[in-house]
Amino acid sequence: MNKRVFRGVLFPALGLLAVTACAPTMQPPTSEMALASSAVERASGAGAYEYAPLELKLARDKIEQSKAALQARDYTGAQRLLEQAELDAKLAESKSATAKSQKAVDELQKSIEVMREEIRRSRPQ
């Protein structure tokens, strides 16, 4: 009976050990780093320095934090930070685009108002 108990515990334990040994290990999130860095560059190019500086700074800070996590081999933490950095950068880019669009709308409205004034003045009374 001892052999049966021993086999009943040993073989499943060895099987579990073999499965975990063959399981893929977490790799550094290099693709996430590239995506986050690219998103920050796009946001910068879209004028985030002017229109969404806080979001851009958050994205950059999270990329720096992820580098520290990579040094500590905390790949899960680094991946999470990089995903957040990408989202912050995309938000900065969107805010910049929205602000630029609003600025263009405001300028058009001013131009329309100037044209209306000119029309009013040029009409004979």
In a domain, 69, yes or no: yes
Cβ neighbors of 67 (< 8 A, separation 6 or more) are 78
Phi/psi for 25 (5° steps) reads -90, 155
Task: Look up the CATH number of the domain holding residue 32.
Answer: 1.20.1270.390
In a domain, 112, yes or no: no
Q: Could you give the CA distance from residue 96 to residue 50 in angstroms, rounded to a whole number?
A: 8
In a domain, 33, yes or no: yes
In a domain, 77, yes or no: yes
In a domain, 76, yes or no: yes
In a domain, 81, yes or no: yes
Q: Quick: pLDDT tens for 63-112.
A: 999 999 999 999 999 999 999 999 999 999 999 999 999 999 999 999 99
Q: What is the pTM of this model?
A: 0.72
Residue listed under structure tokens 């630029």:
100
**pLDDT (0 to 100) of residue 23:** 44
Domain count, the chain: 1
Between helix 53-71 and helix 30-45 the angle, nearest 10°, is 160
Q: Could you give the CA distance from residue 69 to residue 75 in angstroms, rounded to a whole number?
A: 7
Q: Could you give the CA distance from residue 27 to residue 24 in angstroms, rounded to a whole number?
A: 9
Q: Which domain holds residue 51?
A: 25-96
In a domain, 108, yes or no: no
In a domain, 90, yes or no: yes
The better pLDDT of the pair 68, 17 is held by 68
**pLDDT (0 to 100) of residue 14:** 56
Q: Could you give the CA distance from residue 74 to residue 27 in angstroms, rounded to a whole number?
A: 10
